[in-house]
Amino acid sequence: MAIKLILLDLDGTLLDSEKRLPEENKNALIRAAEKGVLIAPATGRYFGGIPAEIRALPFIRYAVLVNGAQVYDAKEDRTLHRAEIPLPLAMRVFDRLDNLPAIYDCYLDGAGYISRDFYAKIDEYITDPIINRMIRGMRTQVDDFKGYLAQRGQSLQKILMFFKDQAPRLEALRTLPGEFPELAVTSAIANNIELNIASATKGNALTALCRHLGLDRSEVMAVGDGSNDASMLQAAGLGVAMANADPVTLAAADWVAPSNDECGAARAIERFCL
């Protein structure tokens, strides 16, 4: 069956290691869109955190955001699907994270928030200058993090943690799912952990978007690299993992593309859509 919708992860997939959109990938997107294929970013970021160059593409209307916590129609500025962490559960999680050697923050209503104290420690925990710059640009500092969230009184889209060392991170990846079975525990970069409500997966978001568009999942190609992409690859008719993908995502793939620095996303689009 012909591919009518492509869902593409951004970091480690459509973007290169410098967080840039390679011209080759951009041209492949344009050519697919000209054929009538729908193109939708599927990212752990919120919509405003997607690079402006991608948001400006005239055919980018739909997006799977915050690991599947939101399916968004940018043309109508409308949320089509939502799956968030209830505030009381989030507060319990933060109390637990206070005992870990990590800094943490959250996404709430399409924006990122972090305590001023943790913001001051970003250089200690995020040494990659590109990711460091991205994180700084996507966070608003607040003096009393928990007090601010309590005052807002809203559910959260995602909780993020960053670790200096791998040993405590790997231990947290092992233990947090048992402590908080209501949550999906994934990772998008080498030193982080991301928490969403269990129903907020890119796979469930793909299903919700297909339902809205009247498409069968067999008409969807999903492309990704992180463990948060595995459910999306499994839900799609065709799942493509990058050569640089997490082992879990590689195992979920129907085909493995070259790495993100080799424009593997363009290779997948050319092979299966063009």
Q: Is the pLDDT of residue 1 over 80?
A: no
Q: What is the model's pTM?
A: 0.90
Positive or negative, the Cα torsion across 146, 152, 154, 158?
Answer: negative
Q: What is the mean pLDDT of residues 108-121?
A: 97
DSSP 12-36: IIIS-TTS---HHHHHHHHHHHHTT
Check the CA dihedral 189-191-195-199 and report its sign. positive
H or E, element range at 169:
helix 166-179
Q: What's the burial of 76, exposed, middle or buried (CB within 10 Å: 0-12/13-18/19+)?
A: exposed
pLDDT bin (cut points 50, 70, 90) of residue 190 is: confident
Q: Which CATH architecture has domain 87-197?
A: 2-Layer Sandwich (3.30)
Query: End-to-end alpha-carbon separation of the chain, Å?
Result: 14
Q: Where are the domains positioned within the chain? A: 5-83+200-272, 87-197
Q: Can you say whether the dihedral through the CA atoms of 175, 178, 183, 184 is positive or negative?
A: positive
Structural class in CATH, domain 5-83+200-272: alpha beta
In sequence order, what are the residues at sequence separation of 6 or more whose Cβ sits closer than 8 angstroms to the Cβ of residue 12? 188, 189, 224, 225, 226, 242, 244, 245, 260
Tell me: the pLDDT tens digits for 3-20? 999 999 999 999 999 999
User: Do residues 168 and 141 touch, judged by C-beta distance below 8 A?
Assistant: no
- Mean pLDDT for all residues in the chain: 96
Q: How far apart are CA 225 and CA 204, in angstroms?
A: 17
What lies within 8 Å, CB to CB, of 196 at 6+ separation is 66, 67, 68, 69, 83, 85, 157, 158, 159, 183, 184, 186
Confidence of residue 188 (pLDDT cuts 50, 70, 90): confident
Per-residue confidence (pLDDT) for residue 187, from 0 to 100: 85
List pLDDT tens digits, range 25-74.
Answer: 999 999 999 999 999 999 999 999 999 999 999 999 999 999 999 999 99
